[in-house]
């Protein structure tokens, strides 16, 4: 089984031809290799603000939409990745416009951010968030 086969990408709304599953998978694999992690399985679910707000409320008690949520489903191993990443395409569109980038670039940034969370990175303040974003940008630059 190849690494590509261990990553599933689901679009919860019709995005016919807008985003490449293969580029999403390539980006995910690039991050996992760069972080020296072994991939068991990864599901990337791309939805909307409504779903992310519900997940954010249910899992974190925050009743507002967010751009990305990552759920670590792995056992005790810190080197093996098994998880789910949820991304809001509504946030992708807004943030892409704010950062003057293509929506696909912003989507990949959120994929990277979610995977970095699964790899153990986190952010509690603006400084650690910036460090995590800067760390993720090196993967975006490799993919592009």
CB distance 52 to 67 below 8 Å: yes
Using left for φ > 0, alpha for ψ between -120 and 50, and beta otherwise, residue 5 falls in alpha
Pairing of strands 80-88, 68-72: antiparallel
Structure tokens at 93: 């569109």
pTM for this entry: 0.92
Q: For 70-99, what is the mean pLDDT?
A: 92
CB distance 120 to 79 below 8 Å: no
Domain count, the chain: 1
The domain containing residue 104 runs over which residues? 4-143
pLDDT digits (tens, 9 = 90+) for 94-136: 999 999 999 999 999 999 999 999 999 989 888 988 999 999 9
Lowest mean pLDDT among 14-18, 58-62, 79-83, 139-143: 14-18
Distance between CA 108 and CA 27 in Å, rounded?
7
Look at the block and give the residue holding tokens 């939805």. 47
Helices (H) and strands (E) in the chain, counts: 5, 4
pLDDT above 70 coverage of the chain, percent: 96
Q: Is pLDDT at 52 greater than 80 in this prediction?
A: yes
Question: What CATH code is carried by the domain that includes residue 97?
Answer: 3.40.390.30
Average pLDDT value for the chain: 91
Q: Is pLDDT at 1 greater than 80 in this prediction?
A: no
Q: Look at residue 15 in the predicted model and tell me its pLDDT.
A: 66
Give the burial class of 75: count Cβ atoms within 10 A of its Cβ; 0-12 exposed, 13-18 middle, 19 or more buried. Answer: exposed
pLDDT above 90 coverage of the chain, percent: 74
């Amino acid at each position: 089984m190849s690494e590509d086969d261990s990553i599933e990408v689901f679009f919860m709304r019709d995005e016919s031809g807008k985003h490449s599953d293969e580029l999403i998978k390539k980006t995910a694999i690039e991050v996992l290799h760069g972080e020296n992690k072994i991939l068991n399985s990864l599901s990337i679910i791309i939805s909307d603000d409504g779903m992310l707000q519900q997940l954010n409320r249910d899992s974190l008690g925050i009743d507002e939409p967010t751009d990305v949520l990552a759920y670590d489903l792995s056992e005790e191993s810190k080197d093996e990745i098994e998880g789910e990443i949820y991304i809001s395409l509504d946030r992708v569109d807004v943030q892409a416009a704010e950062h003057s980038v293509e929506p696909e670039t912003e989507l990949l940034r959120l994929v990277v951010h979610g995977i970095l969370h699964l790899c153990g990175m986190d952010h509690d303040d603006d400084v650690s968030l910036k460090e995590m974003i800067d760390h993720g940008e090196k993967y975006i630059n490799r993919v592009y």
